[in-house]
Structure 1
C-alpha cells in the first residue's frame, strides 16, 4: 500500500514539474521584434497627419492586437501610447488616460527607457492642457533624458515650444520652432515644418507682429496644402483670415475665409466627426470588453486552483518531509553564503569607490582637454593670421622661408588641437550621427580631390573603385563619413611614397530601403607589423618611434576613425604586412531613397569675388584678433567697424547698414548667439557669419537657430574666410534677385 501511495505522489509531483518546464520553454523564446509592427505605426502616423483619424485608430488597434497575439510587450506599450496620443488629438482626454493607465501597468514589469520617455511625454501634454505648464516643462525634461529617438525629440521640441508660448517665453519658443523649420526628421519632416510655421504665426499674431505672422501663416498653408495636412490647412486659413483683417488686406482675408468655408463643407463636416467618434468609441469599448474577458478568465483559473486545494495539501506534506531532511544542510550552506555575501559587499563597495573615482577623473580630463583646446585656438588665431598677413606683404626671401615654417607649425598645431577636441567630444557622448540625404560618390570624390596635392607631392596615385549599383541617394551623415575617409586616405598617402592608394566602395546587400555598403582603403606602402596592429587604433599610437620621427603626425587619426565608426555601429578591421602595404575595411548600413536621378559634378571650384567697397561689422572682444580680422578685410579692399562686445554689436547694427556681420560667439556680457537673436528682431536681411573657437558644449544647430547664416571655426584658413563672406553676401543677393 505504501509503495502504491508513493507512486501516486510521485506522479502528482511530476505533473507541475512538466508544466513548469513547458512554460519555461515557451517564455524563454525571444519575443517577436517590434520591427514587425513598425509599419502599422508608420501608416497610422500618415493617416493622423492627413486628419484621417478613423483610419489611424483602426491601424493602431490592429498593431495592438498583433503585439498582444505575439506577446510583444514593448510593441503593446508603444501601441497603447500611440492610441493615447490619437485620442488626445480628438479631445477625448478620458480615453487617453485609460490607455495611459494600461501602459503604466505594463511598464512596471519591464525595463523599457523608450516607453518610459513616451509615458512622461504624454503626461507632460496632459499637464499642459490643464495649465500646469511648469510641471509640464519638468516632465518634458525627464522624457528627454530617457529617449534619444530623433522623431520623438522633434515632437518634444514642438510641445515644449507650445508650453513656452503659454508661459510667454517667446524667445525660447522661437528658438525651438526655428530649429524645427529646418529639421531632418525621417518620418515627419513636412508635418513638423508645417506645425512650426503655424505656431510661429500664432506667436507673432499674439505679439501684434502681423507681417511676420502672415509670412509664417502662408508658409504653413503651402506645406499643409502640398502634403494634404487638412487640419493644418484649416488652422492656417483661420489664422490668415484674422491676420489679413488686422493688416487691412480685406480681399486676402475674404479669400482665406472662403477657403475655410469650402474646406469645412467638403471635409470637416458633421458626418466625418460622427464617423471618427463612432470608430473611437467602438475601439475603446472593444478593448474594454476584451480586458473584462481576460479578467474573467483569470478568475476561472483561480477557481480551478481552489478546487485543487486537497491536492495542494498532499503536496505540502510531501514537501515538508523533504524540507525537514534538507534543513541542516541548508542551514550550513546559508552560513557559508552569509560570509561570502559580506565579502562580496565589501569588494563591491571598493569597486564602486574605484569606479566613481575613475568617472570623476574621466570627467576632469574631458573638461580640462575641452578648455585647453578651446583656449589655445584664440592665440593660435593670432599666430596663423599674422603669418598669413606677413606672407602677403612681400617679405625678403630669407624671411619667407621662416614664415612658411611658422605657418606649417601653426597648421600642424591646429590639426592636433582639432583631433584632441574631436576625440574628447566622442568620449563625452557629445556626438551622434545625423540622418540626411547625401550622394556617397560625391562625398568620397570631394575627399580625394582635397588630398590630391598631398598625393602628388608623394608621387602617389589615387584610385577610386566605385560600385555603380550603389544607390545615388542615401540617408546618413556626410560630414562624419568625410572625416573617416579623410583620416584613412590621408594616412595611406602619408605612408605610401611612389605607390598607389585604392579606395573601394561596394554594395553588399540591398533589402528594400536598407543597404549595406563595404568600404576599403588599400595601399602598397610601408605596412604595419603584427605586433603593432594590436595597438594601432589606440590614441597617440604609431608603428614605431622611428616612423613617428620620419613621417610625423599625432597618432590620433585611426582613433578618431574607430570612434566615429562606433557611432554607426560599425567596426574597422585591418590586414597588413611589413613592406607590403595595409588594408583598412569596414561596413556601414544606410537608408536608400533612390527614387531620384541627377548628374552630379564632383569638381569644387572656389569663386573669385570682388569685395571692393564692402562695409562689414567685426564683433570681437580680443584686441589682437580685432587687428588681424580688420587687416584681412582691408587686404581685399573692404572697410569695417569694430564692436568690442555683444551690446555694442546690437547698437551699431541699429545705427548703420552693413554688408555682413562677423560675430564672435564667446564674449563677456551677452554671447554672440544672444546678440544675433537681438539683431534678428529688427534686421532679417544682413548675413551674420559666426566666428568661433568651437568648444565641447557648442552646438552648430543652436547658432543657426539663433539666426546665423554660416559658421567659420577659428583659427580659419584665409581662403575659406573670404569664400564664406562672398557666398553669404553675393550668392544670397543673386538668389534673392531670382525670387
Structure 2
C-alpha cells in the first residue's frame, strides 16, 4: 500500500511538472511573438507606415496582457510614444513615455528604462525643454555605461549633439559629439541611426559653412535612407541636399532635390491615405460599399450631362480656386514662419541669459580651484628649490653639482609652467586688470635682462640692448605687464637661439603732450618659424613643429600670453620670421610721460645706489619666521643663518603674536595659511601694538588677486613661494636698511 501511494505521488508530481513546462513553453512562444511584433512596429515607424505600426503595437499589447508581461507592456508604450513623437503629437507621446518609465522603475527593468529615457529626451528636445532633455540623456548614459552597451552610448552622444545644435547653437561641440557617436556606431547594423547621424553631421557642417563636408554627410545619410526605405530620412535628406546646393549657388540641383522631397512626401501621404480607406471598408462591410458605388454611378450620369453644358465654367472655377488656395497657403506659411521666428528669438534670449549665468558660475568655480591648486603646487616646489639652493652652496662635487643644477632647472621650469597656465586662465576669464604706476622703463628692461642672463649664458647667446635716450625717464603705465611681455618674448628668443645674438630695441615713435608712443623690437638669429606656422604660433599650446617641441621642450603658452596681454593694453604683436634665419617680434605701446629723460637721470642713479644693498646689513639681525611646515621652516632658517642672521621660529599665528610682544625682532617673515589663526589675522593683531616692525608675507598664494588685501591688513611686502634667492635677499635687505636709517 505504501509503495502504491508513493507511485501515485510520483505520477502527480510528474503531471504538475509537465503542465508547468507546457505553460513555460507557451509563455516563451508568446514572448517571442511579442518581441517580433515590437521589432516590426519599430521598422514600420521608421518607414512611416503608421497603419501597420499601430496594428502591430495593438497586437503586442493584447498578447502582453494575456501573460501579464509588464516589461513588454511598458516597452510597447515606449515605442507607441515614439510613433506619436514622429507624428508631432507630443501630448500623447509624453503621457505614454511617462507611463512606461513608471512601470519600468517599478519592475526594475534597467535596459527598458534606458530606452525610455532616450525616447523621452528626444520628445523634450522637440518641446524645447533642453535642460530636462540633457538630464534624461545622462540617466540613460549611466545605465548603458553600467552595461557597457556601446551602440546605445553612441545614440546618447548623437542625441546630445542634436541638443547642442538646437539649444546652444554650439556647432563645434555638436560635431565633436557626432564624431564620438560615429566611433560607437561603427560596428553596428543600425542603419536608421547611421542615416540620422550623417544627417545631423551635415547640419553642423552646414552651420559651420563646411559645404563640401555637409554635402558628403547628406549624401551618405540619403543613400542609407533610400536603401532601407526610411521615408522621413529620405524627405529630410533631400531637403538638406537642396539647401546645400542653394548655398552653393546651384539652383537647378537645389530644385531637383526639393522636388524629390515633395514626391516622397506625397507617396507617404498616399500610402497612409490608402490604408485609412481600407480600414473604412472593413468597418462598413461589402453591402455598404456596393450601395455607395450604385449611388455614385447614378450621380456620375447626371453630372456627365451637366458637365457638357458647364465645362468651361468649371475649368475657370477650378483655376480661380487653385490660385486663391495657393495665395492663402503662402500667407499662412509666412505668418507661421514669422510667429515661429519671434518665439525662437524670445526663447534664445532666455537661453542666452541662462547660459551666461551658468558660465559665470563655472568661471568662479574654476578660479577657486586654481587658487587652491596653486598653493598646493607651490608649497612642495618651495622645498625643492630651497633645498637645491642650500645643497649648491655646500661645495658639492662636480658630479653632484651637475645633478643639482638639473634639479634646479626642473623646479624653475615647473614653476614657470604653473605660472603660465594661471596667467593664461586669468586672461581668458577677463580677470586681469591694469595696475598703473610710475616707473623707469630702461631700468625695468634691465632688470628683465639680468633675470634672463643665466639662461642666455647657458645657450652661448649675446643680448644687445638699444634704448632711445629721448624716451622720458618717468612713465606711467603697468610695469608688471610690460615685464611679463618682455620676459616671454626674450625668453622665447633665448630658447630658440644657440650661440647667436638677440637684439632688444626700444624707440620713441611719437610724443603728443604727455602721451608717448614707443616701438618695441625683439630680434634674434635663431631657429626661425615657417610661414605655415606663423599664424598659429600665438594660439594656446602651439609651437613651430613637433621636432622643435622635442628639441627645445616647453608648453607653447608664452606667445599666447603675450598676445592676450598686448590686447589688454590696446596693442597687438607682429611677427616676421624665416625658417633657419631667425625671428623679429614688434609691438607698440602708449604711456603717459611724467618727467623728461634728463630730469630723471640723476635720480635713477641715486635710487639704484640705494637699492644695490649688500647682505652685510643682515649680520646680527633678528628675524622671526612664522611657518607651520617643518621643511619650509628648516629651509628658510638655513638660508638666513648662512648670512649670519639670528632666527626664531613660530609654528602658528598665536605663538608669533606672543613672541613679538615679549621679544625684539628686526623683521617678520609671515606665512598666510596656517592652523588656528591665519597670517593675515596674526598681522592685524601685531599691528595693534607694533606698527614699525617690517612684516613680509612669505606665501604660496596667487598674488595678483590679493595684493590689496595684504597691504590693507598691515603687510609691507610679499615674497611668493617658491622664490629666487636674489629677490628674497633684496627685499629683506631693503626693509632692514630702511629701518636702520629710521633709527
C-alpha separation between the residues in 2 aligned to 1:365 and 1:543? Answer: 30
Equivalent residue number for residue 445 of structure 1? 446
Instruction: Kindly indicate whether residue 690 of structure 2 is the aligned counterpart of residue 683 of structure 1.
Output: yes
Rate the CA distance shift 1:498–1:393 in 2: closer, same or farther, 3 A. closer
Deviation at 1:364, TM superposition (A): 4.0
For 2:491 and 2:478, the matched residues in 1 are separated by: 20
SS of corresponding position for 1:470: coil
Give, in whole Å, the separation in 2 of the partners of 1:468 and 1:614: 41
* Residues in 1 aligned to 2:705 and 2:675: alpha-carbon distance in whole angstroms: 16
Q: Deviations over 1:520-556 (max 9, x none)?
A: 2111211111222222112222112211221122222
**How much has 1:618 moved relative to structure 2?**
1.1
Q: Any conservation in 2 of the 1:425–1:696 contact (CA below 8 Å)?
A: no
1:465 correspondence with 2:466: yes
User: Unaligned stretches of 5+ in structure 1?
Assistant: 1-325
Q: Is 1:587 aligned with 2:588?
A: yes
Partner of 1:571: 572
Is 1:532 the counterpart of 2:539? The answer is: no
Residues in 2 aligned to 1:640 and 1:468: alpha-carbon distance in whole angstroms: 46
> Following TM superposition, by how much is the alpha carbon of 1:658 offset from its aligned partner in structure 2, in angstroms?
0.9
CA distance in 1, matches of 2:460, 2:726: 26
Q: Which moved more, 1:653-662 or 1:624-633?
A: 624-633
Asked whether the equivalents of residues 369 and 420 of structure 1 are also in contact (C-alpha less than 8 Å), the reply is: no
The CA deviation string for residues 556-593 of structure 1, in whole angstroms up to 9 with x for no partner, is 21122122212211111212121121111111111122
Structure 1 pair 572–639 and aligned structure 2 pair: CA distance change class (3 A): same
- 8 A Cα contact 1:616 1:662, kept in partner: yes
**Which one of the candidate residues 613, 633, 638 is aligned to 1:631?**
638
Any idea what SS the aligned residue of 1:375 has?
helix
Distance 1:722 1:510 in 2: 39
Counterpart position of 1:514: 515
Q: 1:337 to 1:609 in 2, by over 3 A?
A: same
Partner SS for 2:601: coil
Does the 8 A contact of 1:520 with 1:584 survive in 2? yes
**1:430 counterpart = 2:408:** no
Deviations 1:643-668 (A, max 9, x none): 22222211111111112111112223
TM-aligned CA distance change 1:545 to 1:606, over 3 Å: farther
Secondary structure in structure 1 of the residue aligned to 2:658: helix
CA displacement 1:220-256 (0-9 Å, x = unmatched): xxxxxxxxxxxxxxxxxxxxxxxxxxxxxxxxxxxxx
Farther-moved stretch of structure 1 (446-455 vs 674-683): 446-455
Q: Is the 8 A contact 1:421 1:696 kept in 2?
A: no
- 1:720, 1:701 → 2: CA distance? 21
Change (3 A) 1:427 1:670: farther
Take 2:401 and 2:572, find their aligned partners in 1: how far apart are those partners? Answer: 45
Aligned equivalents of 1:386 and 1:453: distance in 2? 20
For residue 629 of structure 2, what is the aligned residue in structure 1?
Answer: 622
- Note closer, same or farther for the CA distance 1:669–1:498 as it changes in structure 2 (3 Å cut): same
Change (3 A) 1:334 1:447: same
Whole-angstrom CA distance in 2 between matches of 1:696 and 1:459: 34
Kept in 2: contact 1:660–1:688 (CA 8 A): yes
Determine the C-alpha separation between the residues in 2 that align with 1:393 and 1:442: 33
Q: Check 1:686–1:417 CA distance in 2 against 1; reply closer, same or farther (3 A cut).
A: same
- The answer as to whether partners of 2:615 and 2:643 remain within 8 angstroms in 1 is no
Secondary structure of the corresponding residue to residue 689 of structure 2: coil
Deviation at 1:369, TM superposition (A): 3.0
Instruction: Point out the structure with max Rg over C-alpha.
Output: 2
- Shift of the 696–715 alpha-carbon distance from structure 1 to 2, 3 Å rule, reads closer
Matches of 1:450 and 1:508 in 2, distance apart?
A: 27
Query: Residue 649 of structure 2 aligns with which residue?
Result: 642
C-alpha distance after superposition, 1:31-56 (max 9, x if no partner) = xxxxxxxxxxxxxxxxxxxxxxxxxx
Residue 346 of structure 1 and its aligned partner are, at CA, apart by: 5.2
Which residue of 1 is the match for residue 721 of structure 2?
714
| Structure 2 unaligned residues grouped into runs of 5+ | 1-326
Contact between 1:370 and 1:424, CA under 8 Å: does it hold in 2? Answer: no
Is 2:601 the counterpart of 1:598? yes
Aligned residues: 411
| Distance in 1 of aligned mates of 2:365 and 2:537 | 26
Residue in structure 1 matched with residue 405 of structure 2 by the alignment: 404
Residue 722 to residue 471, structure 1, CA distance change in 2 (3 Å): closer
- Would the aligned equivalents of 2:618 and 2:736 in 1 still touch at CA under 8 Å? no
Q: Which secondary structure state, in structure 1, belongs to the residue aligned with residue 618 of structure 2?
A: coil
3-state SS, counterpart of residue 609 of structure 1: helix
Q: Distance in 2 between matches of 1:637 and 1:441?
A: 35
Which structure 2 residues correspond to residues 37-52 of structure 1 after superposition, within 5 A?
Answer: none
Corresponding residue for residue 559 of structure 2: 558
Determine the structure 2 residue equivalent to 1:480. Answer: 481
Cα separation, 2, equivalents of 1:520 and 1:619: 45
> 2:543, 2:556 within 8 Å by CA — same for their partners in 1?
yes
Q: Structure 1 residues 518, 394: CA separation in 2 closer, same or farther (over 3 Å shift)? A: closer
In the alignment, which residue of structure 2 is the partner of 1:385? 386
Structure 1 pair 533–390 and aligned structure 2 pair: CA distance change class (3 A): same
The Cα shift of 1:377 comes to 0.6
TM-score, normalised via structure 2 length: 0.52
Which residue of structure 2 aligns with residue 495 of structure 1? 496
C-alpha change, 1:661 and 1:552, in structure 2 (3 Å) is same
CA distance in 2, matches of 1:613, 1:725: 14
Q: Is the 8 A contact 1:373 1:420 kept in 2?
A: no
What are the residue-to-residue correspondences of 1:217-236 with 2, within 5 Å? none
Pair 688,351 (structure 1): closer, same or farther in 2 beyond 3 Å: closer
Deviation of the 1:714 alpha carbon:
0.6
Contact 2:613 2:733 in 1 (8 A): no
Q: Corresponding residue for 2:289?
A: none
1:609 to 1:540, Cα distance in 2 relative to 1, 3 A: farther
- How big is the alpha-carbon RMSD for the aligned residues of Structure 1 and Structure 2? 2.8
My pick for the range that moved more, 483-492 or 598-607, is 598-607
TM-score (norm 1): 0.52
Distance 1:493-1:395 versus aligned 2 partners, 3 A rule: closer
- Aligned partner of 2:678 in structure 1 is 671
